[in-house]
Amino acid sequence: MSLPTRFGRCHPIHCILPPYLLQNLARNGPPDLRNIALEVLALDSTIRSNRIICSMMETGAHPALAAVAKHRTVYTANNSTTLPGQVVRVEGQASSGDAAVDEAYDGLGATFDFYFDIYQRNSIDDEGLYLDATVHYGQRYDNAFWNGQQMVFGDGDGELFQRFTISLDVIGHELTHGVTDSEAALVYSGQSGALNESISDVFGSLVKQYQLKQTAEQADWLIGAGLFTDRVQGVALRSMKAPGTAYDDPLLGKDPQPAKMGDFVETSEDNGGVHINSGIPNRAFYLAATKIAGYAWEKAGRIWYETLRDTSLTQTTNFSRFAARTVINAGHLYGTSSAERQAVIEAWNEVEVRVV
């Protein structure tokens, strides 16, 4: 189930934590953490299916603006599950002193600035959409999500997960689902759903790289670094550089992402493995970006962005079709004999998505 949005369509709920990670915790964790995981899974299911939230959010929606200007509003749910909650910081106000509020505010701004500065995109819908976020959602809620209207962040359980505003690439990831929804509107299932997730990882990472002014070689290529507490045997939720290596923990299990098509996971869970198989196009982007070198948002990011906006994509585009369009767009941007186009071809071939 999905929610009506200011884009004029319905879109699915996109959570940063995949269900299999929470399911592992529900099976393997001590009683208090098992209960938290079960509550988060139940709440996530309710969010996806509860049409009442749709009308609540639609009533509070702001109109889209054509002018280029940030319009951020951060709310607190005060540990309830009522959205959007109480306003705690609006555009132009000084720091609130609440870390979650201020991280959300800064993350919304950093994502807006990235898309405008680099791709001349006016907010995530390219029409000046207001950017809203709710923090302190639920009780020890282990997740963050984009619901088609706004960002929502839990505080984490404090034992395995920190507050979910702590990672800028998570904020960039979730807001990029809004970009994808307004452009290719990739169906959130199977390979198109894994592409949807991968595109959010790509641009979530680029938001962080742009903020830190890191080259492709300097970047960590991790999604969700900083979310885990010291108790977890892992560095992040996902690694774009080395899918399948982000964590290996007794409670959370082992990172299940494949790095090439030969290891593609056929599953009916996780909407057909959208969070799992996204490792394949993630690594393709990492390889393309590092082969091209320099700042990844400048060339590799431009190729992926223009491909996302490519009108020849369908909502059910698979890896091969997307890969082929990245090669074509690299040729359009940099020439059919360019090093950039060749880097993209080599990157996809290395993850066994054959384009030539």
168 plus 229 within the same structural domain: no
Whether the bond between 31 and the residue before it is cis, its omega within 30 degrees of 0, is no
Residue 275 bears catalytic tag: yes
Residue 174 bears catalytic tag: yes
272 plus 134 within the same structural domain: no
Q: Is residue 58 in a domain?
A: yes
Last residue of a domain, one of 162, 182, 202: 182
For the entire predicted model, the pTM comes to: 0.90
149 plus 48 within the same structural domain: yes
CATH of residue 271? 1.10.390.10
pLDDT of residue 59: 37
6 plus 128 within the same structural domain: yes
Point out the catalytic residue in the list 174, 183, 197, 340: 174
pLDDT of residue 219: 98
Per-residue pLDDT of the chain (356 residues; tens, 9 = 90+): 233 334 444 556 788 888 888 889 889 989 888 888 888 777 766 665 443 334 333 434 444 445 789 999 999 999 999 999 999 999 999 999 999 999 999 999 999 999 999 999 999 999 999 999 999 999 999 999 999 889 999 999 999 999 999 999 999 999 999 999 999 999 999 999 999 999 999 999 999 999 999 999 999 999 999 999 999 999 999 999 999 999 999 999 999 999 999 999 999 999 999 999 999 999 999 999 999 999 999 999 999 999 999 999 999 999 999 999 999 999 999 999 999 999 999 999 999 998 86
Sheet holding 151-154, edge to edge: 14-15, 144-146, 151-154, 131-137, 72-76, 86-90
Please, are residues 345 and 355 in contact by the beta-carbon 8 Å criterion?
yes
pLDDT of residue 58: 40
| Number of folded domains that form the chain | 2
Query: Exposure string (b/e) for 85-101, b if CB count within 10 Å is 16 or more?
Result: beebbeeeeeeeebebb
CATH of residue 173? 3.10.170.10
Question: What is the extent of the structural domain holding 203?
Answer: 190-350
139 plus 223 within the same structural domain: no
15 plus 96 within the same structural domain: yes
Last residue of a domain, one of 182, 199, 231: 182
Single-letter amino acid, residue 80: S
79 plus 95 within the same structural domain: yes
Please, are residues 45 and 103 in contact by the beta-carbon 8 Å criterion?
no
pLDDT of residue 48: 52
> How far is residue 285's CA from residue 309's CA, in Å, rounded to a whole number?
17
132 plus 203 within the same structural domain: no
Q: Is residue 116 in a domain?
A: yes
Last residue of a domain, one of 151, 182, 213: 182
pLDDT of residue 14: 82
116 plus 214 within the same structural domain: no
Structure tokens at 266: 């056929």
pLDDT of residue 2: 34
130 plus 163 within the same structural domain: yes
